[in-house]
Amino acid sequence: MIESSCHCGAVRLEIAYAPREVTDCNCSICRRYGVLWAYYPLADVKVPATGVSEIYMWGDQSIEFHRCRICGCVSHWYPRDDTRGRMGINARLLAPELLQDVRIRHLDGAVTEQYID
């Protein structure tokens, strides 16, 4: 089990395994957040504490973006329904050594919704 946390440690995530690839998306929210998303099946991630994050949603409100109430770090996104079958973890909150050999995929989330690498 791999642990991830925001800067102050209030929001913690428990992840079943290290990511093999992460996504750098250029959509309007992801580029502003500056995140790298690691995608996981819902069953492979645990968020032990509840009530320590704030939620932001926009557009069709199908995704909850979570950030720490204390330090403001974006920690993860979670689907409002389970049809997506996955969630995104901000890989920038993982230990750097877990990411040194990880492939970074570039997603054109702003226009085509296609990977451009």
Residue 63 has pLDDT above 80, yes or no: yes
Residues 82-94 have a mean pLDDT of: 91
Residue 84 CB neighbour total at 10 angstroms = 15
Residue 88 has pLDDT above 90, yes or no: yes
Residue 89 has pLDDT above 90, yes or no: yes
- Which fold is adopted by the domain 2-115? 2.170.150
Residue 99 CB neighbour total at 10 angstroms = 16
Single out the residue of 3, 1, 4, 8 nearest to residue 72, CA to CA. Answer: 8
Contact 67, 76 (CB under 8 A): no
Residues 111-117 have a mean pLDDT of: 95
Annotated domain spans of the chain: 2-115
Q: Average model confidence (pLDDT) for the chain?
A: 95
Could you report the per-residue pLDDT of 10-24, keeping only the tens digit for each? 999 999 999 999 999
Q: d(Cα 107, Cα 116) in Å, to the nearest integer? A: 6
Residue 59 has pLDDT above 90, yes or no: no
Residue 82 has pLDDT above 80, yes or no: no
Query: Which single residue is written with the structure tokens 């428990």?
Result: 14
pTM of the complete model:
0.92
- The neighbouring-strand residues paired with 86 are 41
